Amino acid sequence: MTGDAAPGRTSLHATAVVHGESGVLILGPSGSGKSALALALMARASAAGAFGALIGDDRIFVRNAEGRLVASGAANMAGIIERRMAGLIAVPHEPAAIVRLTVELCERGRQWPRMPDISDSLTIGEVRLPRLALDSGLSVCDQALAVEERLTALAAQSRERIRISLEHCAAVHKNERPEISPPALQAPGA
């Protein structure tokens, strides 16, 4: 695989990680702290006993998969990330993830508006995703905490949309497979 995007995939100057069950796509110019934030998110996930892994650093390929954005890293750089002043290091990695949140870091010395738009989103590959704008001047700990808070809020919104009662889940579990009404027809000779 070369550094070029395959058909149907778009190449981005970005970093991506899995934090818990969510893919996080980190965008920003060179030197804005994408790799540092990715390392902080993976470390915080590990410290909390959650899953954390690198998808890719510096070059991410994205594709639209039935309305979901799938991010993958360059195969020849799997599990490799740059830690400033330390060089390239190896970290746990995954080949791809579904992106649940985009984080956009601004240039160093520049700031985003203090009160962001409530419905802040970003469209990539025809997929609209929640966007979190963070100042590069913030500490990486503050940035990681802000990402975790947004992921928690998004997970809560997602659970509300499902609306399956605990009683229903317990009944299905207790009674195993629910009966189909009317009973399914059996194939001849079965």
Mean pLDDT of 105-111: 74
Q: Which of 14-28, 35-49, 109-123, 158-172 has the lowest mean pLDDT?
A: 158-172
* Mean pLDDT of the chain, nearest integer: 81
By C-alpha distance, which of 69, 68, 34 is closest to 54?
Answer: 34
Query: Which of 34, 40, 85 lies closest to 57, judged by CA?
Result: 34
What is the average per-residue pLDDT within 62-76? 93
* Least confident span in 70-79, 91-100, 154-163: 154-163
Residue 145 clears pLDDT 90, i.e. is over it? yes
81 sits in which H/E element:
strand 80-83
Model confidence at 158, pLDDT cuts 50, 70, 90, reads confident
Give the pLDDT band (50/70/90) at residue 149. Answer: very high
DSSP H or E run through 39: helix 34-47
Show the tokens assigned to 188: 């001849």
**Per-residue pLDDT band at 52 (split at 50, 70, 90):** very high
- Peptide bond just before 182 cis, omega within 30 deg: yes
pLDDT digits (tens, 9 = 90+) for 58-67: 999 999 998 9
